[in-house]
Amino acid sequence: MPRTRFDVREDPVRREMRQRRFEQEQVAFEREQQADMDSAIATTSLAGRLGAPSSSTASPVAHHIRTPMSSYANDTGAEPDPNVIDWDAHTVVGTSTKLEKPYLRLTSAPDPKTVRPLTTLRKAFEFLTRKWDTERNYAYICDQFKSMRQDLTVQRIKNEFTVQVYETHARIALEMGDLGEYNQCQSQLRSLYSYDLPGSHLEFLAYRILYLLHTRQQRDVNTLMSELDSAAKTAPAVAHALEVRAAMRCGNYHRFFALYHDAPNMNAYIMDHFVDRERVQALLILARALRPSCTLQFLASELGWAHVKDAHLFLSSLGAATYMDGETDDPRDDSLWDTKSANEPLLRASERFRKVDVCMERVSCVYETNEQFQIKGQL
């Protein structure tokens, strides 16, 4: 049988010579690596920089000596890293005693004379809450609370009082329909709650769920739900928000509007921002399901209107107030809504609700030291 190239055996002498050559090359490589290591240690070690004998002549144990971390912490002679912000250098302790102070964006390092300390801020908070209850001037109150938040930020005060300020401002913003200001407050509250500071965590958790439903951030809703424990899920406000989500996903508008009228805390204030969107979707479904007409009283009862007049005004704003007995400005409970004619204007209305425009104002604070730099964040 002829031999193939796979049957050729290597000569034992050649194999032994190749093995010796490999061992010699390995020894030379290890010596070269050790020489490079000794050279690097001699030039970079503290002993080498001070002129002490290099570590190549020292005991092998010396290679394993490590400088303790405490020596770095206590080394006051080291130059600070210019690329690292020294927050302590920009933290002030205020001396102002004014209860009222307008909000101004910082364009330089904060002056302690214009910053109110914690004791003054507590007095200002009590003064402003009383003033809000009596005067209800939102532009003034919002400006004053932003000024308080700024004073807390520049002094790096994060305690129970800080939570109280942000929660109060968030509630006032919700009451006035200012989602932009509310969103700034709730973002900071999430950070403050992470420090286990006392506050209305579950109340604002419910607001966050409803806010995400408003902005149609379904992925964030799912992520948030996966993080909820049993205690959070059974809290009344959170349970209500989760029921609202379930009603929206199932298209159960009867349940949705029942929850809207029976909302705890300030849940309904957030729902105000997307209830019209859900009404339009519900009207589209009813317009296709109930042909050729349905009574105005039925619409009012199903979609959460107290009076048929309210239902008529909403339909009129969409251009869908068409009735079988002719257009009228004074509809009755038994007026028949023309579902077929209303379909097209409802489709146009639904297009207007596809995008959610929420103002999320960012605040830029510029501090000047030896080198000017800009810090962007939320107050």
The model's pLDDT over 127-163, given as tens digits with 9 standing for 90+, comes to 999 999 999 999 999 999 999 999 999 999 999 999 9
Which residue type sits at 371? E
Q: What is the model's pLDDT at position 80? A: 59
Residue with more model confidence, 22 or 169: 169
pLDDT higher than threshold 70 for residue 273: yes
Q: What is the model's pLDDT at position 6? A: 47
Inter-residue contact 294 to 339 (CB < 8 Å): yes
* Residue of 233, 242, 372, 348 lying closest to 287 (CA atoms): 348
Q: What is the model's pLDDT at position 87? A: 56
Q: What is the pLDDT of residues 68-90, one digit of tens each?
A: 444 444 444 556 566 555 656 66
- Please tell me the least confidently modeled range out of 56-70, 116-130, 248-262: 56-70
Query: What is the C-alpha separation between 15 and 33, in angstroms, rounded?
Result: 27
Inter-residue contact 284 to 346 (CB < 8 Å): yes
Inter-residue contact 197 to 159 (CB < 8 Å): yes
What percent of the chain is predicted at pLDDT more than 70?
Answer: 74
Residue with more model confidence, 221 or 108: 221
Q: What is the model's pLDDT at position 85? A: 55
Residue with more model confidence, 354 or 169: 169
Residue with more model confidence, 108 or 7: 108
pLDDT higher than threshold 60 for residue 48: no
Q: Of 38-52, 87-101, 252-266, 307-321, give the range with the top mean pLDDT.
A: 252-266
Query: pLDDT band at residue 32, thresholds of 50, 70 and 90?
Result: confident
Query: What is the C-alpha separation between 246 and 257, in angstroms, rounded?
Result: 13
The 10 Å Cβ neighbour count of residue 143 is 15
* Residue of 318, 321, 316, 325 lying closest to 341 (CA atoms): 321
* Residue of 227, 164, 174, 149 lying closest to 197 (CA atoms): 164
Q: Average pLDDT of 357-371?
A: 37
Q: What is the model's pLDDT at position 83? A: 58
Q: What is the pLDDT of residues 282-341, one digit of tens each?
A: 999 998 888 888 888 999 989 989 888 999 999 989 988 888 876 666 777 778 888 888
Residue with more model confidence, 361 or 131: 131
91-263: in CATH 1.25.40.990: yes
Q: What is the model's pLDDT at position 121? A: 97
Query: What is the C-alpha separation between 328 and 364, in angstroms, rounded?
Result: 53
Q: What is the model's pLDDT at position 363? A: 32
The 10 Å Cβ neighbour count of residue 191 is 12
Residue with more model confidence, 378 or 172: 172
Q: Of 46-50, 202-206, 228-232, 280-284, give the range with the top mean pLDDT.
A: 202-206
What percent of the chain is predicted at pLDDT more than 90?
Answer: 48
pLDDT higher than threshold 50 for residue 379: no
Q: What is the model's pLDDT at position 187? A: 93
Inter-residue contact 362 to 378 (CB < 8 Å): yes
Q: What is the model's pLDDT at position 89? A: 63
- Please tell me the least confidently modeled range out of 19-28, 267-276, 335-344: 19-28
Q: What is the model's pLDDT at position 263? A: 95
State the chain's mean pLDDT as an integer.
80
- Please tell me the least confidently modeled range out of 176-180, 196-200, 301-305: 301-305
Any idea what the Cα angle at residue 174 is, between residues 171 and 175, rounded to 5°?
Answer: 90
